[in-house]
């Protein structure tokens, strides 16, 4: 977003004077009460020590809450030992809650499974034994390339149980993307499936997975394949084994050994400002504490009665924190759905809410805007009265979508919690507390209790209410990333060098006159497409890897449904022809290199790209073109006539 546009958007936002306080009834019974804020303010880091002891079962209690002596490398709950899988599973069974449903699974074709805590615990124990029998040891990395099926959660928890570090790769990423992630983490085991379903069609991940594996480094010793829809599988004898062969027959006895609070739990790759995705590293004790805390308080969770549904795929951090870990650590019942919202019809989600009596729904603004487009008549055909809290995540939610969500899905009387956070933060950082905060359409509003958020200017000085700047985090927090896999310097440079002693999130933000926070999108070269994070440079690299492309520049242009859309400007090599074919070819090429989500919405062939005298592409000007605006100040271009040349070529 260019600065003037942010300004305009903010002027409109500032006029927002609607307030939706919780009902007296909701407020009185809410899990999070106003005292939680006071407690957090008074106690500082010790607040988190209390939460860690309250929410988790530790094998050894910790002796120090936070060691920040080697900042920005934090150690939380020093000396403590804990097992994530034990906390998510065994302890519920031991406490007599084994019969509670952990997962209601609904496959896209309509097949269902109901898995209790006792059953899930057994399945994870079997998988842990199976992985160990394949030689997986504590600290080894396991790549997970699976659709949204229960085995995905089982695999993650089995890894956590034995101390192996999972690296989940979104099933929609390409073979090349999978391969580079396997190589970077030097994964030893890969868990994948023989397919999934998408819009009624059987769909790989496996063929893509097999291709990637064939070319991956030699660290992979075994591949475990889950049978899901019996697509043809490229099989490597001696390396590949079926899940049902190794897991089903394994023993259901397995003792969870305690791991250090700082033992690595997982790596999750995310896009940064350079071409190479970074492996964000999370560890055990702090991550579990803050994900469980926020899941309980932000969503007002009652584990005995609620049915929680987070619609995110496990390939993203939302699917890690609020599908695989927090709901289970909190002993909740959740729904996992494999497929798309419009299969076999556009009412599928609402049919599921009605069928499973979903009471807490957590999804992304992109989905909400899509449902708005399909029309309110569709959700209105279903009984959505079970819903009592609605959550939003992944991108700013515009006030229109917020109001529609509240009225059409929430029946006009349930709290909406807009949660700001990142792969790097591990858990919610900014969010209303549903029984305390009077919510405002479009604003994520206030820091989570125990979290120190600020908005600062160029020099790192806090801005006053009514102004904008950069979003920062002032104090370490339990679920913060512990680094970038294999690249400690990049960790410091990316997050800790912009402002002294503060974490720089990469987002622009404003404080309104009440001091409430409004998120204004990324200020770096990271795009947000349907709540998915993609880097402009990563897509540019993919484009120039094609023999027809000489140069490429990519921008995120605002899009009514997806928030942002990828728009690419390319200069072709001398021999390549500018026609429809080349656009299709290049779109598919990006799909193959990164994955279908990265395919540009538009590819525009241009004679030149706007660059500064130092050779930096001025994406701001291209964004003006992509969004159909008058082009802004172009005086710093090395050749000021270039924007005109581009305009002429696009008119052709």
User: Site residues (CB under 6 A) for ligand WT7?
Assistant: 270, 316-318, 393-396, 418-423, 444, 505-507, 519, 522, 528, 531, 533
Distance CA 621, CA 632 (A): 6
Distance CA 461, CA 416 (A): 31
Number of helical (H) and strand (E) elements in the chain, helices listed first: 22, 30
Smallest separation (angstroms) from ligand WT7 to the CB of 424: 7
Smallest separation (angstroms) from ligand WT7 to the CB of 474: 17
Q: Is 120 or 416 the residue whose CB approaches ligand WT7 more closely?
A: 416
Q: Is 319 or 341 the residue whose CB approaches ligand WT7 more closely?
A: 319
Q: Is 524 or 608 the residue whose CB approaches ligand WT7 more closely?
A: 524
Q: Is 444 or 446 the residue whose CB approaches ligand WT7 more closely?
A: 444
Query: Taking phi first (over 0 means left), then psi (-120 to 50 degrees means alpha), and beta for anything else, what does residue 300 get?
Result: left
Residue 521 near residue 1 (C-beta atoms within 8 A): yes
Smallest separation (angstroms) from ligand WT7 to the CB of 405: 13
Smallest separation (angstroms) from ligand WT7 to the CB of 316: 6
Q: Is 290 or 419 the residue whose CB approaches ligand WT7 more closely?
A: 419
Smallest separation (angstroms) from ligand WT7 to the CB of 271: 8
Q: Is 173 or 316 the residue whose CB approaches ligand WT7 more closely?
A: 316
Smallest separation (angstroms) from ligand WT7 to the CB of 418: 5
DSSP 284-352: SHHHHHHHHHHHHHHTT--TTT-EEEE---TTSHHHIIIIIIHHHHTT-EEEEE-S-TTSS-TTHHHHH
Smallest separation (angstroms) from ligand WT7 to the CB of 522: 5
Q: Is 66 or 565 the residue whose CB approaches ligand WT7 more closely?
A: 565
Neighbours of 651 (CB within 10 A): 6
Smallest separation (angstroms) from ligand WT7 to the CB of 570: 26
Residue in 158, 48, 178, 81 with CA at minimum distance from that of residue 480: 48
Distance CA 637, CA 24 (A): 58
Which residues face 203 on adjacent strands?
196
Q: Is 507 or 516 the residue whose CB approaches ligand WT7 more closely?
A: 507
Q: Is 145 or 316 the residue whose CB approaches ligand WT7 more closely?
A: 316
Smallest separation (angstroms) from ligand WT7 to the CB of 321: 8
Q: Is 43 or 422 the residue whose CB approaches ligand WT7 more closely?
A: 422
Q: Is 349 or 518 the residue whose CB approaches ligand WT7 more closely?
A: 518
Q: Is 144 or 393 the residue whose CB approaches ligand WT7 more closely?
A: 393
Residue 261 near residue 76 (C-beta atoms within 8 A): yes
Q: Is 209 or 394 the residue whose CB approaches ligand WT7 more closely?
A: 394
Distance CA 551, CA 444 (A): 39
Neighbours of 137 (CB within 10 A): 11
Neighbours of 68 (CB within 10 A): 13
Give the contacts of 54 (CB within 8 A, at least 6 positions apart). Answer: none
The residue written with tokens 């106003």 in the block is 34
How distant, in Å, are the alpha carbons of 95, 112, 169, 233 from that of 209? 40, 26, 10, 10
Q: Is 256 or 534 the residue whose CB approaches ligand WT7 more closely?
A: 534
Which DSSP helix (H) or strand (E) runs through 189? strand 189-193
For residue 610, give the 3-state DSSP assignment: coil
Beta-strand pair 526-529/532-535: antiparallel
Smallest separation (angstroms) from ligand WT7 to the CB of 401: 12
Residue in 173, 10, 2, 7 with CA at minimum distance from that of residue 557: 2
Smallest separation (angstroms) from ligand WT7 to the CB of 597: 12
Give the contacts of 5 (CB within 8 A, at least 6 positions apart). Answer: none
Sign of CA dihedral 318, 328, 33, 386: positive
DSSP 126-141: HHHHHHHHTT--TT-E
Distance CA 251, CA 242 (A): 16
Q: Is 259 or 428 the residue whose CB approaches ligand WT7 more closely?
A: 428
Smallest separation (angstroms) from ligand WT7 to the CB of 532: 7
Smallest separation (angstroms) from ligand WT7 to the CB of 389: 15
Dihedrals phi, psi of 527, to nearest 5 degrees: -105, 160
Smallest separation (angstroms) from ligand WT7 to the CB of 318: 5
Q: Is 328 or 505 the residue whose CB approaches ligand WT7 more closely?
A: 505
For residue 440, give the 3-state DSSP assignment: coil
Smallest separation (angstroms) from ligand WT7 to the CB of 610: 25
Which residues face 557 on adjacent strands?
565
Q: Which two tokens stand for residue 467?
A: 């102004």
Residue 636 near residue 612 (C-beta atoms within 8 A): yes
Burial class (CB in 10 A: 0-12, 13-18, 19+), 632: middle
Smallest separation (angstroms) from ligand WT7 to the CB of 14: 17
């Amino acid at each position: 977003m260019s600065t003037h546009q942010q300004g305009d958007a903010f002027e409109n936002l500032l006029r927002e004077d609607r307030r939706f306080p919780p009902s007296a009834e909701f407020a009185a019974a809410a899990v999070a009460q106003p005292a939680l804020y006071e407690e957090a303010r008074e106690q500082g880091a010790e607040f988190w020590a209390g939460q860690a002891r309250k929410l988790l079962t530790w094998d050894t209690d910790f002796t120090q809450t936070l060691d920040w002596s080697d900042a920005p490398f934090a150690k939380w709950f020093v000396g403590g030992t804990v097992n994530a899988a034990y906390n998510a599973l065994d302890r519920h069974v031991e406490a007599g809650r084994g019969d509670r449903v952990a997962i209601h699974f609904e496959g896209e074709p309509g097949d269902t499974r109901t898995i209790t805590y006792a059953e899930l615990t057994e399945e994870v124990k079997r998988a842990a034994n199976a992985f160990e029998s394949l030689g997986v040891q504590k600290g080894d990395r396991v790549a997970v390339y699976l659709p949204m099926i229960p085995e995905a959660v089982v695999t993650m928890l089995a890894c956590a149980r034995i101390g192996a570090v999972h690296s989940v790769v979104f099933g929609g990423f390409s073979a090349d993307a999978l391969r580079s992630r396997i190589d970077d983490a030097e994964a030893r085991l890969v868990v994948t499936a023989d397919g999934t379903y998408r819009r009624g069609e059987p769909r790989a991940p496996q063929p893509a997975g097999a291709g990637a594996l064939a070319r991956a480094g030699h660290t992979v010793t075994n591949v475990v394949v889950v049978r899901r829809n019996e697509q043809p599988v490229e099989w490597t004898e001696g390396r590949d084994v079926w899940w049902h062969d190794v897991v089903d027959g394994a023993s259901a006895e397995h003792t969870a050994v305690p791991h250090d609070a700082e033992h690595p739990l997982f790596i999750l790759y995310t896009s940064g400002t350079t071409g190479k995705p970074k492996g964000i590293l999370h560890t055990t004790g702090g991550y579990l504490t803050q994900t469980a805390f926020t899941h309980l308080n932000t969503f007002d969770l009652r584990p005995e009665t609620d049915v929680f549904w987070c619609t995110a795929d496990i390939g993203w951090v939302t699917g890690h924190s609020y599908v695989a870990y927090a709901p289970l650590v909190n002993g909740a019942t959740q729904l996992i759905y494999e497929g798309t919202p419009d299969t076999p019809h556009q009412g599928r989600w609402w049919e599921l809410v009605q069928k499973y009596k979903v009471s807490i729904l957590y999804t992304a603004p992109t989905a909400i805007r899509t449902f708005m487009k399909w029309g309110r008549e569709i959700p209105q055909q279903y009984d959505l009265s079970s819903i009592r809290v609605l959550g939003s995540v992944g991108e700013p939610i515009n006030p229109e979508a917020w109001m529609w969500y509240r009225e059409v899905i929430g029946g006009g009387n349930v709290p909406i919690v807009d949660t700001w956070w990142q792969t790097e933060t591990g858990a919610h950082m900014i969010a209303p507390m549903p029984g305390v905060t009077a919510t405002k359409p479009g604003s994520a509003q206030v820091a989570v209790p125990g979290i120190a958020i600020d908005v600062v200017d160029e020099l790192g000085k806090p801005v006053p209410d009514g102004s904008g700047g950069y979003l920062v985090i002032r104090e370490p927090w339990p679920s913060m990333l512990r680094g970038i896999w294999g690249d400690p310097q990049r960790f410091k440079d990316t997050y800790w060098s912009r402002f002294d002693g503060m974490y720089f999130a990469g987002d622009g933000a404003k404080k309104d006159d009440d001091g409430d926070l409004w998120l204004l999108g990324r200020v770096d070269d990271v795009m947000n497409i349907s709540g998915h994070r993609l880097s402009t440079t990563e897509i540019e690299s993919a484009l120039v890897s094609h023999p027809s492309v000489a140069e490429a520049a990519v921008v995120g242009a605002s899009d009514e449904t997806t928030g942002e859309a990828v728009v690419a400007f390319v200069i072709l090599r001398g021999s390549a022809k500018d026609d429809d074919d080349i656009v299709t070819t290049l779109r598919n090429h990006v799909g193959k290199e990164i994955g279908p989500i990265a395919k540009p919405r538009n590819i525009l062939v241009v004679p030149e790209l706007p660059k500064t005298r130092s050779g930096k592409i001025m994406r701001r000007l291209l964004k003006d073109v992509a969004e159909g605006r008058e082009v802004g100040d172009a005086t710093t271009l090395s050749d000021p006539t270039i924007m005109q040349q581009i305009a002429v070529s696009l008119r052709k």
